[in-house]
Structure 1
Amino acid sequence: MNLHQFRFVQEAVRRNLNLTETAKALFTSQPGISKAILELEEELGIDIFVRHGKRLTRVTEPGQDVLRSVDVIMREIANLKRIGEEFSKQDSGRLSIAATHTQARYVLPEPITQLRKRFPKVQVSLHQGTPEQVARMLLDDTADIGLATESLADFEDLVTLPCYEWQHVVVLPLEHPLAAVERLSLEQLAAEPLISYHPSFTGRSRIDQAFAQRRLSTNIALEAIDSDVIKTYVRAGLGVGIVAEMSMRHEPAGGDLISKPAGHLFGSNTSRVAFRKGAYLRSYVLTLAELISDRLSRSLIERAMLGHGDDYSL
């Protein structure tokens, strides 16, 4: 057995058993991959894959167990590389971050700026996606750390920790009649065309639940994943916006929009930071987590990575 065989098996599953795509991804030949997998199966004495001719069709039951072991082995190989890098180059490397648009646009700029001041040789790579895509990037080892509000806690192979709470706000043009209302109600909002997030983003599920619990129908004029887009269409007069409060923090004083608190309508949301279970976290990854939230500490994260973080809450 060797690491090439393990890598071929793992990548074949990632590529939906398409050996042509697997060969392209690994810069090798399809016959070479097929031969290596067959040799591994022969050495183990089991079939990892079911075949139809030369084509792989599915993973066998013992093959599932083999894949789990291969994942552990390859994860530890990656950890060994990180440990070597950590101690050979203490203050340099590459940090890959996965986050939703709201986190990347409004939460991460200051922590990343501070991180770069402390670790100027660290190259930061920022990936944006849906909450589920953020989770997948962590699981695929594309990202070292992830930040989102939804979905992260639903993946058992991730270690997730709550880092801060936030609420929605209602965004209105200054001349809108509701701008003069001190405390908005769901009934008032239900009577307006609404502009808010796509259902899988930024606490949108809480908004829908609040209206549903009151049996109120809503007129969703537009959905977007970007708070700036929502504000743009509010300015255009398309409707009333519902956005995350952090997206309004840097709006200029005396501007053309006004925001109204909506925590009493939609409750609080919790953003979470996440890591892949078993991953070795380099010093600057832990530092970034601490910069994102003062409730996260290096020792707390390390305890959580060892399986002792279930009792932590905001």
Structure 2
Amino acid sequence: MIVVTGASGQLGRLVIQALLKEVPAASIVAAVRKPASVADLAAQGVQVREADYTRPDTLDAAFKGADKVLLISSSEVGQRTAQHRNVVDAVKRAGVSLLAYTSLLHADTSPLGLAAEHVATEAAIREAGVPAVLLRNGWYTENYLASVPAALQHGAFIGCAGTGRIASAARADYAAAAAAVLIRSGQAGLVYELAGDTAYTLAELAEALSQASGKAVPYVDLPQHEYEAALAGAGLPQPVAALLADSDAGAARGGLFDDGHQLSNLIGRPTTPLAQLLAEAVARSA
């Protein structure tokens, strides 16, 4: 039995859809805070169990009988270390054969502020002594696609990544990798550094966006504090704006680059091309 936590989220849903292509629905558990939010998965035969990272009693019930558990990192930055430790402790009590954790690309050396809670979680997993595999996910291309409508509207793509190269991949690529690891044997103890096959600068992304849209969209590189202020001014919550600006600054220092091709090797196909994803984003913005 495979348990996927955070199954109502974007990544979790994609992981379950990937698993459904390979294993019976009844052997998959969607572990979520609000079971009603995944009624569609239940209708496909997937087991649904309540699992709240802040309530260990729900975790014990969710992991009962589990063979493997995928811990998808919490979206609540600043609270994740404690939440993840609750999951790790529950996994240990359940005696599962494998815990897979979605960490951050090169977490132990990353310049991104996001890395701290991932490093702490990886340490908690080691201390617990549970059989585990680390899925160190790089940047989701969707993180930049979200800026496409505004870039087309204002005629510029802004950021603070300088000439840093970003090896992003589609969320579905990372989901396929997680499913592959959960299905395979012999994964305990492995660390995967997962990133897209092709890296780009944000200037190159803007050029590709210009080609996809037929509209000139230059890249404007801002100081980190100005980019953060621009994101906040566009309506993003201040903590999110700060996180994204910090991540761009980290990208400028190589934090989102990797050329090991472990992701495409794991999923058995090339990662989704940036040009394809941009074309789809432009079509949605039309």
TM range (shorter): under 0.3
TM-score, structure 2 normalization: 0.26
Higher-Rg structure is 1
Q: Which has the higher strand share?
A: 1
TM-score, structure 1 normalization: 0.24
